[in-house]
Structure 1
Amino acid sequence: MLIGEILNTKAAGVISVTPDKMIVEVLRLFRDRNIGFVAVSRSPGEYLGTLSERDCCNAVAEFGATAPSMLVADVMNRRVATCSALDGLPVVMAIMTKRRTRHVVVMNGKAVVGVVSIGDVVKHRLDELLRNEQALCDYIDGIGYH
């Protein structure tokens, strides 16, 4: 399965924040939208980096009680794992494993076209396994072929 196919099953768009937002504001966004990752940009089409729950936790561990009032620009990740919509699911799984990340930004040139999370990967692998299991059961039962 190609990453572009996975993106087609998700809501369109990428949630982003500006670098001048405070971390506490982003944490509220995470809570309210039930997400754990955003792109960072100043304008549509621009891509500066990302911010994840893990980045916020690391900021608290390093800076303590001042972390929530810090700016996204001070905490965001500028070295982001990326892939193309034409990459296969195993490629993204390998990126997630090697980089120890739960999110991979999908790029088309310099433009962000989506984000694939580990939850997306698990969902699509599970769907694939269930389809294979059903096909084997149908084969054993003699269903679907002549």
Structure 2
Amino acid sequence: MAPQVREVMTLGPVTVAPDTPVREVARVMRDRNVGAVLVMDGGRLRGLVTDRDLTVRILADDGDAAERPVAEACSPDVVCVAPEDDMDRAVQLMRGKALRRLPVVDDGQPVGIVTLSDVAAERDPTCVLARIGGDE
């Protein structure tokens, strides 16, 4: 039987408000050593933004990118799992939708995140991705 998401997820996802300037989001990512943050609006998960999103959706555009709100960069259609879901479901979602990260939501609130490194470590602790660890 596959373990539950709660046994594999990384706890304490980093969150920001949708109006947070992307410059500040980039600093948060750097300081917290994460590659993704969750965008929360009024206690509701609005999106997920990655370091790649900041590059492709914001920095690649013309103009003053640093002060644009993170809401312009986030992926609005966030696929989530629950802590009690089994890891097979999480892996199936990640494969089927080509996702590297899945927020873990309990009673409407984010409680963790499952990353490719988490999956790799659970499936094969000796693989390179598992050894790198952390948030890709």
Map of 2:101 onto structure 1? 103
Alignment-mate amino acid for residue 4 of structure 1: R
TM-superposition CA deviations, 1:93-117 (whole Å, max 9, x none): 1211221121101122322221111
Query: Greater CA radius of gyration, 1 or 2?
Result: 1
Q: CA deviation at 1:67?
A: 2.7
Shift of 1:35: 0.5
RMSD: 2.2
SS of equivalent to 1:56? helix
> Any idea what SS the aligned residue of 1:119 has?
helix
**Residue 40 of structure 1 aligns with which residue?**
39
Q: Which amino acid aligns with 2:37?
A: V
Q: Which runs of 5+ in 1 are unaligned?
A: 130-146
* Number of the residue aligned with 2:132: none
Q: What amino acid sits opposite 1:126 in the alignment?
A: D
The equivalent position to 1:2 in structure 2, one of 1, 4, 16, is: 4
Aligned match for 2:115, one of 110, 114, 117: 117
Shift of 1:89: 1.6
CA contact (8 A) 1:81 1:103 kept: no
Letter in 2 for 1:86: E
TM-score normalized with structure 2 length: 0.79
Which consecutive segments of 4 or more residues in structure 1 shift more than 4 A? none
Listed as ranges, the matches of 1:43-58 within 5 Å are: 43=42, 45-58=43-56
Structure 2 stretches lacking a partner, 5+ long: 128-136
Higher relative contact order (CA 8 A, sep 6+): 2
The number of equivalent residue pairs is: 125
